[in-house]
Amino acid sequence: MAQGVLPFKYEEEKKDFCTTALCGSLLYLDLLQKMRFFRIVRDNLRAKAGKQGWSDLQFLLCLIWLNLCGGECVDDVRHMAGDDGLMLILRHLELRSCFGRRRQKMKHQWRNGKRSPFPSPSAIFRYLLLFHNAEEEKLREPHTAFIPESNEYLLGLVAINKAMLEFLQMNNPQHIATIDMDATVVESNKEEALYSYKKFKGYQPLNSWWFEQDYAVYTEFRDGNVPAGFEQKRVFIKTLDCLPEDVDKVYLRSDTAGYQHDLLKYCEMGENKRFGRVEFAIGCDVVEDFKKAVYEVEESDWHPVYKELEIRVNGKVEVKRLETGQEWAELCYVPQEISRSKKGPDYRYLAIREVMYERELPGDEMEALCQQILPFPNVKLNNKRYKLFGVVTNMDWDGESIIHWHRKRCGNSEHVHSEMKEEFCGGQLPSGKFGVNAAWWLIMLISLNLNSIMKNIVLGKVWKKRRMKSIRFSIINIAGRVIKKGKELIIRVSKGHPCLDLLISSRKRIASLCSCCVPGG
């Protein structure tokens, strides 16, 4: 068998054909142009206003493209800067949007050897430092949960995200907003990072996800030692402030981190002037009093939890209900926190049990041992041991319907968190400074939402559930040759490419979108 390398070799092309490996990424540039992103940035973010060098828009576009094209860290900008075709396109579009003296100044910059359309990594680091609030860092106390106040530039990024949501709502109106609140832990080895409940150092941002729009409405970047339920009511109020004006009804879903009685009371008593009473379903803590209420439930009051499965039979879709092995019951349970006043709010508590089939060891100490060893709440009923979970709600739906509706949060939020950290730049934070990492996380969120807008209102239902790696493989990473004819650019892809028709039809859909009422327009 022949040894050695295969019979091919690498050589540099002698002629400059101006090729690019990111043809599909220009669809996102079209979408940003349609939503008037440059005006949104100009009106809301002024970190570089009146200063020389790269502008806010150029820095944001660079970091958004870094997220969309698969980068992980700031140094990956160098790989994008080596794409000659992308450089020609961005330079042409940048000059096209400038007039008068600014255009002459821009041409002079390009003529003096400025070849890359993207800032250098060192310039990006200096820009991200503008988002760090050094005065707030002086207020930190050791071993205490602390959330620094955002400076005006971080608030500008939040305003940009809100303006993008207005554009999405205008083209895909939804009058019901189901908000899923959940936190995720981002591991970090930075010296300044603090330990989280998962026993490693990192940060723990809290995110609010709009289920119907597939959009991250609001996020709050936090240290790893800040509990997920810490000041969750305040974050929920800020989330409501970011919702578009034509939203009429709001629902809230959360895991046990959201079991905060100030948040529950805020929703039940209708303290929000705009939306009034907010219906919710939130996981609750399984404490000893909760278990006592479970012991008092009659066996006949437990109802099975079914799973609905769609099956196609003879061309017709039939729904079959399959048993899951779980049962639910409504409890007569009032926690001590709300039992002090007759005028307090009244909630419904649902218990969910699932039998454990593992063989138990004999002995009187088995009960205490199970409570210590097993990582989830459990009880023993009728000589059987059950996993036990709880849900608190103020909705009048059937108990099984509430359980199924509440569980729709679980898979979706975990999927989004995985995409944030593994397929965008959220998993590798660039600095030990809190404000720098907060800006990095917010820009990642803007990129994630931009991709969500692209899937929802441009690419269509077929692409709505696709992960970012699938979008990159099928659409973004398409090789093409850039040809300049006068004032026009032509991008040619290989003959018979399966995604060429998709690129053309997507541009037509983008051109038909509404943009006249976008803030800053």
DSSP 75: G
What residues have CB less than 8 Å from 342, skipping those under 6 apart? Answer: none
Which residues sit opposite 282 in a β-bridge?
254, 392
Residue 358: pLDDT band (50, 70, 90) is: low
Quick count: other Cβ atoms within 10 Å of Cβ 389?
19
What distance in Å separates the CA atoms of residue 464 and residue 215, rounded to the nearest whole number?
Answer: 12
pLDDT at 361: 53
pLDDT at 346: 82
Name, of 110-114, 357-361, 469-473, the range with top average pLDDT: 469-473
- Averaged pLDDT score across all residues of the chain: 84
pLDDT digits (tens, 9 = 90+) for 152-176: 999 999 999 999 999 999 999 999 9
pLDDT digits (tens, 9 = 90+) for 377-410: 777 777 788 888 999 999 989 989 999 999 888 6
pLDDT at 342: 67
Would you list the DSSP string of 385-416?
EEEEEEEEE---S-HHHHHHHHHHHHHHHHHH
pLDDT digits (tens, 9 = 90+) for 218-265: 999 999 999 988 999 999 999 999 999 999 999 999 999 999 989 999
Residue 51: pLDDT band (50, 70, 90) is: confident
pLDDT at 117: 74
DSSP 147: -
Tell me the average pLDDT across 15-26: 80
Instruction: Output the 3-class SS for 411-477.
Output: HHHHHHHHHHHHCCHHHCCCCCCHHHHHHHHHHHHHHHHHHHHHHHHHHCHHHHCCCHHHHHHHHHC
Tell me the average pLDDT across 30-47: 89
Residues 196-228 as b or e (16 or more Cβ within 10 Å = b):
beeeebbbbbbbbbbbebbbbbbbbbbbbbbbb
Tell me the residue type at 91.
Answer: R
More confident residue, 356 or 375: 356
pLDDT digits (tens, 9 = 90+) for 425-484: 988 899 989 999 999 999 999 999 999 999 989 988 888 888 888 888 888 888 888 887
pLDDT digits (tens, 9 = 90+) for 52-101: 778 888 899 999 999 998 888 899 888 887 777 787 777 777 666 554 56
What distance in Å separates the CA atoms of residue 138 and residue 132, rounded to the nearest whole number?
Answer: 12
- Classify the C-alpha dihedral 121-126-130-136 as positive or negative: positive
Q: Residue 379 in contact with residue 352, Cβ under 8 Å? A: no
Q: Is the pLDDT of residue 519 over 80?
A: no
pLDDT digits (tens, 9 = 90+) for 175-190: 999 999 999 999 998 8
